[in-house]
Amino acid sequence: MAEFDMTFKLLMFGDGGVGKTSLTQRYVTGVFVDSQRITIGVDFHIKELTLEGKRIKLQVWDFGGEERFRFLLPNYCRGASGGMFLYDITSLTSLSHLVDWMQIVRQNAGLVPILMVGAKADLANLRKVQPQEAIETAKANKLSGFAEVSAKTGENVEKTFETITRLMMKKLAARSATSS
């Protein structure tokens, strides 16, 4: 018997500094590490979860958003089942780069579900992006949903990874149905 019913490759993408590594760490290890460490290239983490009675292995690919690593991005996207686009709620610029990121992701990963994720929700007093603006941007770019999270407090973290996992499960089921 296989150990897992499904394996998904999940991409974390968005500008450097928006909180991809912190969110990934928080989800995978359950703690917030206030680190200044820059991700070099790509880090990859495994999380096991059970949803709807299925044992799922989630491979979380945390991309180093720094410009000098962009050449890795097309390869990093290949074979992905879904992704999270992260922006920082205190930075309008980080949201405005969605289109550039999505172009590369769509080209290399296809029409997989992508969530719009506003990070650092605990910094509400420094907020520059209103949820409504992010939701409209998500719709205009055919993303599959929206959430705000905080890696620092843990707010919405588990739930958001579950949401994207459910969307990837749905997509897989739809694909199996049409190919049989």
Residues that bind ligand GDP (CB under 6 A): 16-22, 34, 36, 39, 65, 119-120, 122-123, 150-152
58's enclosing H/E stretch is strand 54-63
CB-wise, 7 or 39, nearer to ligand GDP?
A: 39
In the block, tokens 């096991």 appear at 48
40 exposure class (CB count in 10 Å sphere: 0-12, 13-18, 19+): exposed
Residue 160 binding partner per list ligand GDP, Mg ion, none, with a CB distance cut-off of 5 to 8 Å that depends on partner kind: none
Smallest separation, CB 177 to Mg ion (Å): 37
Residue 9 vs 120, nearer CB to ligand GDP: 120
Of 16 and 145, CB closest to ligand GDP: 16
22 binds, among ligand GDP, Mg ion, none (CB under 5 to 8 A by kind): ligand GDP
**For ligand GDP, which is the closer residue by CB, 150 or 165?**
150
Look at residue 105 and give the partner it binds from Mg ion, ligand GDP, none, a contact being a CB closer than 5 to 8 Å depending on partner kind.
none
Cα separation, 173 vs 161, in Å, equals: 18
Interface with Mg ion (CB under 5 A): 20-21, 39
Rounded CA gap, 114 and 140, in Å? 13
d(CA 154, CA 116): 17
DSSP 142-166: T-SEEEE--TTT-TTHHHHHHHHHH
Q: Which two tokens stand for residue 75?
A: 């390869």
Closest approach of Cβ 17 to Mg ion, in Å?
8
Question: Which residue's CB is nearer to ligand GDP, number 14 or number 113?
Answer: 14
120 binds, among ligand GDP, Mg ion, none (CB under 5 to 8 A by kind): ligand GDP
Residue 9 binding partner per list Mg ion, ligand GDP, none, with a CB distance cut-off of 5 to 8 Å that depends on partner kind: none
CA-wise closest residue to 155 among 126, 124, 113, 178: 124
